[in-house]
Amino acid sequence: MLVQDIDFGVVAEKIGNSPMGCDCVFVDLNGKVGLKLFQYSSMRDRAYNNQKDAAEIDLAPEVYGTVDNISFIGKTLCGEREFVCGYLTEVVQVVGSMNGPYKEFEELYNKELKQLENGLSGFNTVFCRDSHAANCGVKNGKLIAIDLY
């Protein structure tokens, strides 16, 4: 999927029911490619570059390019935001949600989570301090990071 192929009407319809954190909203475009939306290009660029580098060592989903000059108003966990940029990323299975259950996640993925955190320890990301079930996914049977801001 190329940036010019994005149907922003679909994005607008889906944005209210999409997974979100405080700084980002994720919109699944077609089950294979999604769009991560950000308020600021500096935040987008940091997340994009971290994810691109982590994907090269199989610790994150693939990325497919950045998107600029967009404007969507949407709610995040921290309030309403205007999203002006984003990037295209591979859709993977998310392990859990912001609602937990965290204990079961930690018990099930304890060893894999530690390996993931160790693999990302040199990255400029908050993932290692925010490595809960909603920020992890599974690709090819392996635990990976999906939030690398």
Q: Evaluate whether 137 touches 144 at the Cβ level (below 8 Å).
A: yes
Q: Evaluate whether 27 touches 40 at the Cβ level (below 8 Å).
A: no
Q: Which residue, 45, 6, 4, is CA-closest to 28?
A: 6
Structural domain boundaries in the chain: 3-145
Give CA–CA dist 15/44, Å, rounded: 17
**Per-residue confidence (pLDDT) for residue 3, from 0 to 100:** 56
111: tokens are: 């060893």
Query: Is residue 15 pLDDT above 90, yes or no?
Result: no
Query: Is residue 16 pLDDT above 70, yes or no?
Result: no
Query: Is residue 101 pLDDT above 70, yes or no?
Result: no
Choose between 106 and 100: higher pLDDT.
106
Choose between 107 and 91: higher pLDDT.
91
**Per-residue confidence (pLDDT) for residue 123, from 0 to 100:** 84
